[in-house]
C-alpha cells in the first residue's frame, strides 16, 4: 500500500496476519481493545454477586471509558448530514480550460464521497426543515483530494466571511432558552435580517421552495463562490460550479415538510439510502459557467459578490461530466461524521478568486476540523485519505496513525537524497494574479446593490412559487414576537417589490407600505424557476390504498406498468399483512395508516373492488389520505369502484369518471380516474404522466375545491 511515505511498509504482512487471525476466530469472538478474549460481558466484576464492583474490572472500565467518549463535537453548522459514495466521469477533455487531471479523460472514473446536510439544525434535528442544504463532494483524484463544498442555493446570506459568526448566531436557537430548533422563524434572525440589507436576496431563496427539497436526489448544487480554472499554459478564467440533478429540481410543500418532520425525521436520508439500495443511483451533471478575465466587469453585479448569481441566460452553464452515487456507507460515524471538507482542498488547475466570502472560508474549514476531529491528523482518517500518495515532513500530533520511518523530517536534507522533493512541473502553482491596493476594512461600492437580483428572482417565479414565498414570509415573520421587527421586514422587502411587501404585511399584522416600491428590474431568469426543470416519474413513490375484496387484476396491472416506468409502489391498508382479493388472490399490505401517511408518497392510487372500496369509504384514514394528497397537489388515480372514494372525499367538485358503463377516462387537476376499462394500460399511462408533473398547482386556482 505504501500510503504515507512508505510508513505503512509492513501493512501487507500485518493485513495478512490479521486475515489469518480473523479466519481462525471467524470474526465472532468478543475481545477487549487489547484483543484479550472476553469470557462474560453481562455482569461487572463484583465482590460477591450482591457486592460492590471492583476497580480491577478492566473490561468494564475500558468498555465504559470508550462509551463515555463516543461523541465528537457536532459541526457548528451543517451538523445534520448524510453521505454516499460514487464516482465522477468527465464527458470530454477540459484541457482548454483547466489542467486538472480528473477533468481530462472521459474513460476515467474518479471516486467521490458526497455529504448532504441542513445548515442550522443540530445533529438530531429533522431532515425536512426549511433551510439551505449543503452538497459537499470530495473527489479522490490522482493529484490529491478536491472538495467542491457546495450548497443547493446559488448565493449566500452575506458578502464577507467576517459576518459568518453573526449570521449563524442570529439564526441558531436563541441562547437563553435554546429555541427554536432548526428554524429561522424567530426574533434574533429577523432582527439581524432587517439590520443587514445584503441578506435580502438570500431570504427570497430561503423562503422559496428551494429550501424544502423533495429529495437530495432532486436538488441542484452550487459552488456559490467564484473560482478559477487554470490551464497548462497558465491561462485563467473565472468559473462557477453547478450540479444539475438528472431527475430535475423538486420540492415538498411546507405543510408536508412540517408533518414529515414528525412522522419521519429521517425522510431525506432514508430516501437516499433506499434509492441507492434499490439501484436507483442518484445522478448529477457537473456544470460550469466560464467567464473570460477580460469580461469581469461586463455585468451589473460584481462577480466576486457571493450574494449574486450569474444568470444562466447571460452566462450559459456548460455540462462537463456526470456524478453517480452508487454505494451507501458502511458506517455513518466513520464516514459521514468524520469526513472533513475544505473549500481550500483544490488540485492543480482549480484556483481561487478574491471573493471575500471564499477567502474567509479558506481559513475556517481547516480550523474547525482541529476541534471537531481532535487534531491536525484528520487526513489520516480513512474517509479523508487521498488515493494519491502523501509524502511530506509533517510529523506527530494527536491521533497520528502512520508510523513515520527514518530520522529525516526536514527539507532540504542530504541524509535522504533531499526527498520528498517539490515538483516544479506537476506541483500546484498558485495563479499569479496581480494584486495592488491599500489595506482597508471596506466593502467595494460594486457590492452595494442589495435588491436588484432579489427582484430578478421574484420576477422569475411562477404564480405558485410566488404564493409559497408569501406563505413562508407569513410563517417565518409571523413567528417573530417583536412587532417592530415585523414591520421592518415589510419595509425592507418593499425595496424588492411593492406587491410582495403588501402581501407580506397582510399576513403578519403589519402596515402595508404607503408607497409600494421595488427596484424597477423587469427582467427574469427562467432557469431559476422549478417550473422549467426536467420532469419524470422515475423513482417516485405511489401509495396504493386497498383492503380485502380489491380487484387483483386491476391492482397488479397498474403496479406492473408503474414498475416499468421506474415508479415504486407500496400497498397501504388498515392492517399490515396479507389482503385477499375478490377472487381469492393475495397481496401484501406493506404499511398501515400509522406507519404511513400521504406525505410520504408522491401520488395515491385507489383500486377497484366493491367490498374493498366500501370498507375504505368507512375509514376516515383512507379519506384523509386522499384529501391530504389533493391538498398537497399530488397526482391521484382511481379505477372503477375506487373512483367512489375520490367522489366521496372532500374533493367534491373535482370531475371524476361517472358511473357510465362505457370506459371513460377523466384527467382533471391531476386526478386521473377511469371506469369499466378492460385494459388498464391507458389509465396507467395518464397516471404516470400526472405523477411526472410532480405537483398540480392548477388546484391552487381552484381553491374552493381544496379541503381546508
Q: What share of the chain is helix, strand, coil (3-state, %, to 5)?
A: 35, 20, 50
Question: Whole-number minimum distance, CB 171 to ligand HDE, in Å?
Answer: 12
Nearer to ligand HDE by Cβ, of 200 and 357: the residue is 357
Beta strand residue intervals within 217-292, DSSP E: 221-222, 227-230, 236-245, 283-292
Name residue 666's beta-bridge partners.
Answer: 673
Q: With respect to ligand HDE, which residue has the nearer C-beta, 223 or 597?
A: 223
Separation in Å, CA 345 to CA 192, 221, 254, 340, 352: 32, 18, 36, 10, 11
d(C-alpha 324, C-alpha 306), whole Å: 28
Q: What is the DSSP string of 326-339?
A: EEE-S-HIIIIIT-
Cβ at position 664, least distance to ligand HDE in Å: 51
Round to whole Å and give the CA distance between 13 and 9: 9
Candidate list 5, 145, 151, 640, residue with the active-site label = 151
Measured from the CB of residue 221, what is the shortest distance to ligand HDE in angstroms? Answer: 9
- Comparing CA positions, the residue from 94, 115, 525 lying closest to residue 341 is 115
**Residue 140 or 156 having the CB closest to ligand HDE:** 156
3-class DSSP state of 60: helix
Question: Which residue's C-alpha cell is 465522477?
Answer: 88
Q: Specify the residue, 154 or 321, whose C-beta has the smaller distance to ligand HDE.
A: 154
Task: Give me the least distance between CB of 242 and ligand HDE, in Å please.
Answer: 11
Could you tell me the three cell numbers for 341? 471538507
Which 8-state DSSP code applies to residue 74?
A: P
CA–CA gap between residue 262 and residue 126 (Å, rounded): 8
Q: What is the distance between the alpha carbons of residues 45 and 487, in angstroms, rounded to a whole number?
A: 66
Assigned C-alpha cell, 652: 367534491
Contact 657/666 with Cβ under 8 angstroms? yes
Q: How far is the CB of 453 from ligand HDE (least distance, A)?
A: 16
Buried (b) or exposed (e) across 405-429, using 16+ Cβ within 10 A?
Answer: eeebeeeeeeeeeeebeeeeeeeee
Give me the residue whose beta carbon is nearest to ligand HDE. 134
Distance CA 408, CA 705 (A): 79
Q: How far is the CB of 485 from ligand HDE (least distance, A)?
A: 23
Q: What's the grid cell of residue 590?
A: 406493506
Query: Closer to ligand HDE at the Cβ: 78 or 214?
Result: 78
Nearer Cβ to ligand HDE (136/688): 136
C-alpha cell at 608: 377497484
Q: Does residue 180 have a cis bond before it (omega within 30 degrees)?
A: yes
| Cell 461523541, residue located | 71
Contacts for 271 with CB less than 8 Å, ≥ 6 apart: 215, 216, 217
> Cell match 378492460: residue?
678
CA distance 41 to 58: 12
Of 360 and 513, which CB lies nearer to ligand HDE in the complex structure?
360
User: Cβ 158 to ligand HDE, closest distance in Å?
Assistant: 6
Largest pairwise CA distance in the chain: 96
Least distance to ligand HDE, CB of residue 160, Å: 8
Q: Which is nearer to ligand HDE, 113 or 552 (CB)?
A: 113
The residue among 60 and 365 lying less far from ligand HDE, judged by its C-beta, is 365
**Of 4, 59, 78, 696, which one is the catalytic site residue?**
78
Which residues contribute to the site for ligand HDE (CB under 6 A)?
Answer: 75-78, 81, 115, 117, 134, 136, 149-151, 156, 161, 164, 223-225, 306, 339, 341, 357, 360-361, 364-365, 368
Nearest to 155 by CA among 192, 199, 190: 199
Burial 35-57 (b: 16+ CB within 10 A, else e): eeeeeeeeeeeeeeeeeeeeeee
Q: Which is nearer to ligand HDE, 141 or 225 (CB)?
A: 225
Q: Ramachandran region of residue 534, left (φ > 0), alpha (ψ -120 to 50) or beta?
A: beta
151 catalytic per annotation:
yes
Shortest distance (Å) from residue 104 CB to ligand HDE: 25
Cβ-based nearer residue to ligand HDE, 306 or 505: 306
Report in angstroms the alpha-carbon separations of 103 from 98, 110, 245, 426, 656: 8, 9, 19, 15, 53
User: Among residues 288, 141, 274, 127, which one has the least CA distance to residue 212?
Assistant: 127
Least distance from C-beta 284 to ligand HDE, angstroms?
14
Residue whose C-alpha is closest to residue 324's, from 283, 363, 383? 283
**C-alpha 136, offset from chain centre:** 9
Give me the least distance between CB of 81 and ligand HDE, in Å please.
Answer: 5
Nearer to ligand HDE, 310 or 550 (CB): 310
| Smallest separation, CB 260 to ligand HDE (Å) | 22
Q: Which residues are catalytic?
A: 78, 151
Amino acid at each position: 500500500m505504501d500510503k504515507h511515505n512508505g510508513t505503512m511498509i509492513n501493512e501487507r504482512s500485518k493485513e495478512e496476519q490479521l486475515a489469518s487471525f480473523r479466519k481462525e476466530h471467524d470474526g465472532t469472538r468478543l475481545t477487549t481493545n487489547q484483543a484479550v478474549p472476553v469470557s462474560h460481558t453481562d455482569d461487572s466484576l463484583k465482590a460477591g454477586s450482591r457486592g460492590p464492583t471492583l476497580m480491577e474490572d478492566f473490561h468494564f472500565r475500558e468498555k465504559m471509558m470508550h462509551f463515555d467518549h463516543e461523541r465528537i463535537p457536532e459541526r457548528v453548522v451543517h451538523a445534520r448530514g448524510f453521505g454516499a459514495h460514487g464516482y465522477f466521469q468527465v464527458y470530454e477533455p477540459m484541457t482548454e480550460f483547466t489542467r486538472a487531471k480528473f477533468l481530462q479523460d472521459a474513460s476515467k472514473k474518479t471516486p467521490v464521497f458526497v455529504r448532504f446536510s441542513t445548515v442550522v439544525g443540530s445533529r438530531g434535528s429533522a431532515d425536512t426543515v426549511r433551510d439551505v442544504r449543503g452538497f459537499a463532494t470530495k473527489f479522490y483524484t490522482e493529484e490529491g483530494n478536491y472538495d467542491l463544498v457546495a450548497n443547493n442555493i446559488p448565493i449566500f446570506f452575506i458578502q464577507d466571511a467576517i459576518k459568518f459568526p453573526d449570521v449563524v448566531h442570529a439564526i441558531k436557537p436563541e441562547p437563553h432558552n435554546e429555541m427554536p430548533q432548526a428554524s429561522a422563524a424567530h426574533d434574533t434572525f429577523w432582527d439581524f435580517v432587517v439590520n443587514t440589507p445584503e441578506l435580502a436576496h438570500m431570504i427570497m431563496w430561503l423562503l422559496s421552495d428551494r429550501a424544502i427539497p423533495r429529495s437530495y436526489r432532486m436538488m441542484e448544487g452550487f459552488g456559490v463562490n467564484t473560482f478559477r480554472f487554470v490551464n497548462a499554459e497558465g491561462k485563467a478564467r473565472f468559473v462557477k460550479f453547478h450540479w444539475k440533478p438528472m431527475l430535475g429540481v423538486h420540492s415538498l410543500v411546507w405543510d408536508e415538510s412540517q408533518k414529515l418532520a414528525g412522522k419521519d425525521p429521517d425522510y431525506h436520508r432514508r430516501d437516499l439510502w433506499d434509492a441507492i439500495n434499490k439501484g436507483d443511483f442518484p445522478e448529477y451533471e457537473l456544470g460550469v459557467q466560464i467567464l473570460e478575465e477580460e469580461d469581469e466587469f461586463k455585468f451589473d453585479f460584481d462577480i466576486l459578490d457571493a450574494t449574486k448569481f450569474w444568470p444562466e441566460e447571460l452566462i450559459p452553464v456548460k455540462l462537463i461530466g456526470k456524478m453517480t452515487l452508487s454505494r451507501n456507507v458502511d458506517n455513518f460515524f466513520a464516514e459521514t461524521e468524520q469526513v472533513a471538507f475544505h473549500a481550500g482542498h483544490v488540485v492543480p488547475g482549480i484556483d481561487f478568486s478574491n471573493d471575500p466570502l471564499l477567502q474567509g472560508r479558506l481559513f475556517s474549514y481547516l480550523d474547525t476540523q482541529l476541534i471537531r476531529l481532535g487534531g491536525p491528523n484528520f487526513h489520516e482518517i480513512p474517509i479523508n485519505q487521498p488515493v494519491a500518495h502523501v509524502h511530506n515532513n509533517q510529523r506527530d500530533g494527536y491521533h497520528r496513525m502512520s508510523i513515520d520511518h527514518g530520522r529525516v523530517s526536514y527539507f532540504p536534507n542530504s541524509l535522504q537524497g533531499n526527498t520528498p522533493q517539490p515538483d516544479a512541473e506537476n506541483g500546484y502553482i498558485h495563479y499569479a494574479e496581480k494584486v495592488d491596493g491599500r489595506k482597508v476594512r471596506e466593502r467595494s461600492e460594486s457590492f452595494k446593490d442589495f435588491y436588484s437580483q432579489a427582484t430578478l428572482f421574484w420576477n422569475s417565479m411562477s404564480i405558485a412559487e410566488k404564493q409559497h414565498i408569501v406563505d413562508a414570509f407569513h410563517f417565518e415573520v409571523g413567528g417573530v414576537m417583536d412587532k417592530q421587527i415585523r414591520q421592518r421586514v415589510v419595509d425592507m422587502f418593499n425595496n424588492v417589490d411593492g406587491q410582495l411587501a403588501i402581501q407580506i404585511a397582510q399576513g403578519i399584522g403589519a402596515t402595508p407600505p404607503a408607497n409600494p416600491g421595488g427596484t424597477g428590474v423587469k427582467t427574469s431568469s427562467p432557469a431559476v424557476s422549478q417550473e422549467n426543470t426536467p420532469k419524470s416519474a422515475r423513482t417516485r413513490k405511489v401509495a396504493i390504498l386497498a383492503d380485502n375484496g380489491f380487484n387483483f387484476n386491476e391492482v397488479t396491472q397498474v403496479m406492473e406498468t408503474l414498475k416499468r416506468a421506474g415508479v415504486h409502489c407500496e400497498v397501504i391498508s388498515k392492517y399490515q399483512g396479507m389482503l385477499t382479493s375478490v377472487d381469492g388472490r393475495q397481496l401484501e399490505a406493506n404499511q398501515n395508516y400509522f406507519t404511513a401517511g400521504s406525505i410520504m408518497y408522491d401520488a395515491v392510487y385507489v383500486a377497484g373492488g366493491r367490498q374493498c372500496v366500501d370498507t375504505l369509504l368507512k375509514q376516515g384514514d383512507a379519506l384523509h389520505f386522499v384529501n391530504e394528497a389533493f391538498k398537497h397537489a399530488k397526482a391521484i388515480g382511481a379505477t372503477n369502484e375506487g373512483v367512489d372514494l375520490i367522489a366521496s372525499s372532500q374533493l367534491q367538485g373535482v370531475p371524476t369518471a361517472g358511473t357510465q358503463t362505457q370506459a371513460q377516462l377523466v384527467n382533471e387537476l391531476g386526478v386521473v380516474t377511469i371506469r369499466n376499462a378492460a385494459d388498464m394500460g391507458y389509465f396507467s399511462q395518464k397516471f404516470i404522466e400526472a405523477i411526472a408533473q410532480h405537483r398540480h398547482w392548477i388546484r391552487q386556482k381552484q381553491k374552493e375545491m381544496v379541503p381546508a
